[in-house]
């Protein structure tokens, strides 16, 4: 199951991503956690110290390796150089699974021990000014999009992505790659305006969007969010002393997280799990083709000097069945 946490800067995306990852790890579920946010804080939220976090390999720096592995023997993608972030898989491509060892995880993922079990952590690497706001080929989140487009995930295994709600995610198809998108919103006008903008983009692509209220304190906050986002409000999280202690470098055991917040995490998981029945791999594949053509026209063809539409394998549909035979 692929889950994104998005929202305004400072709303609590990283905090809630990390709590959700801990929640999944605590029940022994396999998890890949990905930090694709502008401010890279997921590693420290998962308990790594600054030095450990700084030593994590950046996915953005491993693009040639990722591309070479994923293209496999796909004849439509004869070289890594011709592969852009939206190049879809086809016959011969290599697919990724949540539970396996592969060269992409070897290069980009590191195990993080949490209460209950280890998760894999991957980070895009810090963004520079040149990365922001442009739909160009070196966008850091391109590595994440490529991996998600080649990933076949099943029930009870999770990829959790901490990302921005910024325009970078709409320039590509990344925002359409998730079974569930949690928009983290504080009960403020700005928090809610990011929700409206995201909803607008999401509507045409059938993106499942739910609002998670954060730093919600009292009835007035709750009433505000309800009035502004209606039924899209899934659950709210209040101020957490557990999170504060964590931030002070004194992480308590996870089972000591406040009961209402543990309940909120369970609500998130239930909502995610319920989307499994709604999956539509054909639509998922069709959308990646759509965004590939869009990127090919706007910059990719020119950049690579080839007609990138030729990379599309018309008979290919990504699915769990395809992964079983690949």
Ligand X SMILES: Nc1ncnc2c1ncn2[C@@H]1O[C@H](COP(=O)(O)OP(=O)(O)OP(=O)(O)O)[C@@H](O)[C@H]1O
Give yes or no for residue 35 binding Mg ion (CB under 5 A).
no
Give yes or no for residue 140 binding ligand X (CB under 6 A).
no
Specify whether the CB–CB gap between 115 and 255 falls below 8 A: yes
* Cα separation, 322 vs 140, whole angstroms: 28
Distance of CA 305 to CAs 63, 113, 202, Å? 19, 45, 31
Smallest distance from ligand X to CB 179, Å: 21
Q: Among residues 30 and 213, whose Cβ is nearest to ligand X?
A: 213
**301 contact choice in ligand X, Mg ion, none (CB below 5 to 8 Å, kind-dependent):** none
Smallest distance from ligand X to CB 128, Å: 16
Residue from 2, 41, 140, 210 that binds ligand X (CB under 6 A)? 41
Coil/strand/helix, residue 79: coil
SS (H, E, C) 208-256: CEEEEEECCCHHHHHHHHHHHHHHHEEEEECCCHHHHHHHCCCCCCHHH
Give the residue from 197, 176, 59, 27 showing the smallest Cα distance to 124.
59
Q: Select the span of 10-18, 77-85, 93-101, 195-203 touching ligand X (CB under 6 A).
A: 10-18
Give yes or no for residue 244 binding ligand X (CB under 6 A).
yes
* Cα separation, 6 vs 26, whole angstroms: 23
Q: What is the dihedral of CA 79, 85, 87, 88, to 10 degrees?
A: 130
Give yes or no for residue 240 binding ligand X (CB under 6 A).
yes
Specify whether the CB–CB gap between 313 and 90 falls below 8 A: yes
Smallest distance from Mg ion to CB 300, Å: 29
* Tokens standing for residue 266: 């369970």
Smallest distance from ligand X to CB 42, Å: 8
Give yes or no for residue 14 binding Mg ion (CB under 5 A).
yes
The residue sitting closest to Mg ion, measured at its beta carbon, is 14
Q: Among residues 37 and 179, whose Cβ is nearest to Mg ion?
A: 37
Give yes or no for residue 239 binding ligand X (CB under 6 A).
yes
Smallest distance from ligand X to CB 18, Å: 8
* Cα separation, 179 vs 270, whole angstroms: 12
* Cα separation, 216 vs 225, whole angstroms: 9
**Contact letters for ligand X, residues 191-220 (x by CB under 6 A):** -----------------------xx-----
Give yes or no for residue 37 binding Mg ion (CB under 5 A).
yes
Smallest distance from Mg ion to CB 5, Å: 9
Give yes or no for residue 260 binding ligand X (CB under 6 A).
no
Smallest distance from Mg ion to CB 14, Å: 3
Q: Among residues 25 and 84, whose Cβ is nearest to ligand X?
A: 25
Distance of CA 292 to CAs 122, 171, 203, 207, 296, Å? 24, 11, 19, 18, 6
* Tokens standing for residue 314: 């018309």
Give yes or no for residue 22 binding ligand X (CB under 6 A).
no
Residues of this chain that bind Mg ion (CB under 5 A): 13-14, 37, 39, 41
Residues of this chain that bind ligand X (CB under 6 A): 7, 9-15, 37, 39, 41, 214-215, 237, 239-240, 243-244, 247
């Amino acid at each position: 199951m692929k889950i994104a946490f998005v929202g305004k800067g400072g709303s609590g995306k990283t905090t809630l991503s990390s709590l959700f990852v801990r929640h999944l790890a605590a029940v022994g579920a396999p998890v890949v956690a990905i930090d694709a946010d502008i401010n890279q804080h997921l590693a420290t939220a998962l308990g790594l110290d600054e030095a450990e976090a700084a030593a994590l390999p950046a996915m953005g720096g491993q693009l040639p390796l990722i591309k070479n592995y994923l293209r496999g023997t796909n004849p439509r993608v004869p070289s890594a150089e011709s592969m852009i972030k939206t190049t879809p898989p086809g016959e011969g491509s290599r697919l990724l699974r949540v539970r396996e060892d592969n060269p992409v995880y070897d290069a980009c993922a590191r195990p993080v021990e949490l209460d209950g079990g280890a998760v894999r952590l991957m980070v895009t690497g810090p963004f520079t000014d040149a990365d922001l706001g442009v739909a160009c080929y070196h966008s850091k989140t391109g590595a994440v999009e490529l991996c998600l487009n080649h990933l076949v995930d099943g029930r009870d295994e999770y990829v959790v992505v901490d990302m921005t709600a910024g325009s970078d995610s709409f320039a590509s198809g990344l925002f359409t790659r998730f079974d569930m998108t949690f928009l983290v919103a504080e009960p403020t006008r700005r928090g809610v305006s990011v929700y409206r903008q995201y909803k607008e983009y999401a509507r045409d692509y059938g993106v499942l969007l739910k609002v998670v209220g954060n730093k919600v304190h009292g009835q007035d906050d709750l009433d505000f969010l309800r009035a502004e986002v209606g039924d899209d409000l899934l659950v709210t999280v209040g101020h957490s002393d557990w999170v504060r202690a964590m931030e002070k470098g004194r992480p308590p055991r996870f089972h000591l997280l406040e009961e209402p917040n543990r309940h909120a995490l369970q609500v998130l998981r239930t909502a995610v799990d319920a989307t499994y029945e709604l999956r539509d791999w054909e639509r998922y594949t069709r959308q990646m083709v759509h965004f590939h053509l869009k990127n090919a026209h706007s910059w990719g063809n020119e950049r690579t000097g080839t007609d990138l539409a030729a990379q599309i394998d018309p008979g290919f549909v990504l699915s769990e069945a395809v992964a079983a035979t690949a």
